[in-house]
Amino acid sequence: MTARALSPAPIVAAAALAAAAVAFAGAPEPLRAPIVLAFLALGPGMAFVPLLGLRDPLAELTLGLGVSLALDLAVAATMLYAGAWSPPASLVVLAAIALGGAALQHWTSRGRP
């Protein structure tokens, strides 16, 4: 099995669910912080970047980081502008975006040979 045959969609979905679970379950800070921060750093971007079909895993990871941080900023700025700033709500929005991207990855990969 090649690296390209492995889709990051299940990992992204698991990371989104794990981040939301530890955040809302009130997990201890030493456990919660690395899981949530890792998801925020890579989760949303890696849900969409593999759809571009890049052949370089390092480029995919780098672009995933940049897209994730851009999505994090866009959600935070939108919530601030709307006067509805809430870190838990922003995590839910980003998890929903990531789960949607993971579902789109899974759906598009099923049609490929």
Give the residue numbers spanning the domain of 28: 9-110
C-alpha–C-alpha distance, residues 82 and 24, integer Å? 23
pLDDT at 112: 56
Q: Which residues of the chain have pLDDT under 50?
A: 1-3, 113
Cβ neighbors of 109 (< 8 A, separation 6 or more) are: 7, 9
pLDDT at 108: 86
Closest CA to 91 of 42, 36, 50, 52: 36
pLDDT at 1: 41
Residue 17: inside a domain, yes or no? yes
Contact indicator for 9, 64 with CB cutoff of 8 Å: no
* Number of structural domains in the chain: 1
Q: Which tokens belong to 24?
A: 């809302």
Residue 46: inside a domain, yes or no? yes
Residue 1: inside a domain, yes or no? no
pTM listed for this prediction: 0.87
The DSSP code for 53 is: -
The DSSP code for 57 is: H
